[in-house]
Amino acid sequence: MNNIISTNIARFIVLVLVQVLVLNNINFLGYINPYIYILFIILFPIKNNRLLFILLSFLLGLTIDLFLDSGGVNAAACVTIAYIRPVILKFVFGTIYEHQTVKFNNTELGQRLTYFSIITVIHHLILFSLEVFNTTKILLILKKTLFSSIFTIILCVLITILFSRKNK
Amino acid sequence: MQQIINFLIRNKTFLLFLLLFSISLLLTFQSHSYHKSKFINSANFLTGGIYKSVNNIGRYFNLKKENDILLEENNRLKSIFFNTKTNLLKQDNNDSVFSAKYKFKPALVYKNSYSATNNYLTINKGERDSIKQDFGVITSKGIIGIIDNTSKKYARVMSILNTNSRINSQLKKSNHFGTLTWNAESPLLVQLIDIPKLAPVAVGDTIITGGRSTIFPKGIPIGKVVSFKLDETENYYNINVKLFNDMTSVGHVYIIENLDAEEISNLNNPNE
C-alpha cells in the first residue's frame, strides 16, 4: 500500500516536471505538443477513493496550469476525465473491470490502446475548446485535438511499454 | 433535511466534480480577460524558481546567439551615435537630456510560449526591481508584450501573441494608426486592424508602435506588411504583419517604464 502511494507521488512530480520543462517546448510544426501528464490519471489504481482521485486530478491540472499560465483549462479537462474514467473502463474492459482485477500491464495492447485513446481525445477536446474559447475557430480546435492526441497516445503507449515490469 | 443530507452523500462524487469543474471554468474565464488572472500565473516563487534553475543550465547553449544579437545591436547604436551631427556628449548640460521620459531595465526570459492562443512569458525581474503592471517589454529588434502580473522576484508578460493583447500601432510613413491583435494562427504573423481605407498601405511597409498609449514610446519597430485586405465593412484594412522579432526564441529583453504614465492617466480619469 505504501508502495502504491509513493509510486503515485513520484509519478505526479516527475510527470509535471517532464511536461512543463520538456514536452511543452517541443512545439512540433508550431503547435503540436504531447500532454503525457494525463498518464497519472490513466494509470491511477482502479481500487481507489473516487473523491480523492478527483481531487488529485484537479491538483494535477492546476499545477500544470500554474506553470503554463493557462488559467484553469488543464484542471477542467483533468477533472472531467477523472470523473468519467469508470465509465470508460467499464466500456473498454467489460467484465474484467467489474471484478476489479484490471492490471494495466496484463491487458491486451488493443484494449489498452482504446482506453488511452478515448481518455486522451476527451481530455484534449475539452482542453483546446476552453483554451481557444471561440466558436468561430472550431477547425483550429479540431486540428489541435487531432494532432496532439495522436502524439500523446503514441508517447503514452511507448512509455507504458518501456516502464512496465514483467510479471512472471 | 434528512433527505437533503442523503442526497448530498449519495451524489458526493458528482458534486465534488461539479465544484472543481466550476472552479476551473471560473479560472479559465478570468484568464480570458486582461488583468484578472491573479491567482494562477507562473510568476510565483515555486514555478518561477523551477524555471529559473532550468534556465540557468539552458542559457549556456544560447550564449553564442545572444552574443551575436548584442553585437548587432551595439553596432547599430554606435553607428547612430557617431553619425549624428550634434554630438550628444557635448549636450550634457542641456536639461532635455536629463528630463528622461522612459526608463529601461534589462531582464532575462525564463519561460516563453507561442503555441497556445494566450501566450505569456515569465521574466526574472519583479516588484523587488520596481517592475509594475503595464510596463512595456521589447527586445533590440521589436516589441514583445506588456507586463501583466508581478510577484516579488518575477513578472509575467502578456505576449503580443495573445488573443487578448491590444497594442496601439501605426504605419511608419504616415500617421494612420490601428490596433495590433493576434488571430492565433501563426507565431510569425500578427494582425493590424482598424487602419482607415485612406491610408497608403503597401506590402513591405514598416509598422511601428504609436505614441498614443502610455506603455510604449512612439517608434518601436514591430514588423513588415506582408498582405492586406479590406474588412467586411469595406472601410478599414486588415493587415498581416510579419514580426521583426522571432517570438519563438527570446532571450534578453528590456522593460520600459514610462515615468509620465501616472500623470497622463490621472489627466484622463480626473474622477479617480
**A163 in contact with chain B, both atoms CB, cutoff 8 A:** no
CB contact under 8 A, A72 and B42: no
> Residue A98 above 70 pLDDT?
no
Point out which residues pair with B257 in neighbouring strands: B103
Residue B28 distance to chain A (closest CA, Å):
4
A134 or A55: which carries more pLDDT confidence?
A: A55
Q: Reduce the secondary structure of B53-103 to three states and give it as a string.
A: HHHHHHHHHHHHHHHHHHHHHHHHHHHHHHHCCCCHHHHCCCHHHHCCCEE
Residue B227 distance to chain A (closest CA, Å):
21
Q: How many CB pairs under 8 A join A and B?
A: 112
- What is residue A121's predicted lDDT score, i.e. its pLDDT? 92
CB contact under 8 A, A67 and B156: no
User: Strand B221-230 to strand B102-111: parallel, antiparallel, or no bridges (unpaired)?
Assistant: unpaired
What percentage of chain A reaches a pLDDT higher than 90?
14
pLDDT confidence band for B99 (50 / 70 / 90): low
ipTM over 0.90: no
**Residue A153 included in any domain:** yes
C-beta of residue B195 within 8 angstroms of C-beta of residue B176:
yes
CB contact under 8 A, B28 and A132: no
CB contact under 8 A, A72 and B47: no
Instruction: Cite the DSSP H helix spans in A47-108.
Output: 50-68, 73-93, 95-98
Interface test mutation site (partner B, options A69, A74, A145, max chain B beta carbons within 10 A): A69
> Residue B117 above 60 pLDDT?
yes
Question: pLDDT tens, B52-87?
Answer: 888 888 888 888 888 888 888 889 888 888 887 665
Question: pLDDT tens, B173-188?
Answer: 888 888 888 888 888 8
> Residue B216 above 80 pLDDT?
yes
Q: Name the average pLDDT for chain A.
A: 84
> Residue B261 above 60 pLDDT?
yes
- What is residue A122's predicted lDDT score, i.e. its pLDDT? 92
> Residue B37 above 60 pLDDT?
no
> Residue A158's domain spans which residues?
2-162
B82 or B270: which carries more pLDDT confidence?
A: B82
Question: pLDDT tens, B147-176?
Answer: 888 888 888 888 888 888 888 888 888 888
Task: Show residues of chain B in contact with A27, CB under 8 Å.
Answer: 114-115, 248
Q: Name the B residues in 160-199 with CB < 8 Å from any A CB.
A: 163, 184-187
CB contact under 8 A, B40 and A62: yes
**Residue A147 included in any domain:** yes
- What is residue B272's predicted lDDT score, i.e. its pLDDT? 53
Question: Looking at residues B137-147, what average pLDDT do you find?
Answer: 88
Task: Show residues of chain A in contact with B113, CB under 8 Å.
Answer: 24, 68-69
Residue A12 distance to chain B (closest CA, Å):
16
**Residue A167 included in any domain:** no
Task: Show residues of chain A in contact with B51, CB under 8 Å.
Answer: 67
Point out which residues pair with B177 in neighbouring strands: B170
CB contact under 8 A, A66 and B41: yes
> Residue B89 above 60 pLDDT?
no
Residue B44 distance to chain A (closest CA, Å):
9
CB contact under 8 A, A80 and B21: yes
Domains and CATH numbers, chain B: 45-163+249-260 (2.40.10.340), 167-243 (2.40.10.350)
Widest CA span in chain B: 89
> Residue B98 above 80 pLDDT?
no
**B21 in contact with chain A, both atoms CB, cutoff 8 A:** yes
Q: How many distinct structural domains can be found in chain A?
A: 1
Nearest by CB: A79 against B24, B50, B54 = B24
> Residue A108 above 80 pLDDT?
no
**B115: buried, middle or exposed (CB in 10 Å: 19+, 13-18, 0-12)?**
buried
**Residue A41 included in any domain:** yes
B233 — phi, psi (to 5°)? -80, -5
Question: Looking at residues A28-43, what average pLDDT do you find?
Answer: 84
Cα–Cα distance for residue pair A96/A117, rounded to 1 Å: 19
- What is residue A125's predicted lDDT score, i.e. its pLDDT? 92
Residue A168 distance to chain B (closest CA, Å):
37
In the block, cell 468561430 appears at A136
Nearest by CB: A83 against B17, B111, B186 = B17
Q: How many helices (H) and strands (E) does chain B have?
A: 6, 12
pLDDT confidence band for B38 (50 / 70 / 90): low
> Residue A34 above 80 pLDDT?
yes
> Residue A28 above 80 pLDDT?
no
pLDDT confidence band for A168 (50 / 70 / 90): very low
**B120 in contact with chain A, both atoms CB, cutoff 8 A:** yes
pLDDT confidence band for A120 (50 / 70 / 90): very high
CA distances from B170 to B135, B227, B238 (A): 20, 16, 13
> Residue A153 above 50 pLDDT?
yes
CB contact under 8 A, B115 and A27: yes
Count of all residues that appear for chain B in the document: 272
- What is residue B194's predicted lDDT score, i.e. its pLDDT? 86
Q: Name the average pLDDT for chain B.
A: 82
B29 or B207: which carries more pLDDT confidence?
A: B207
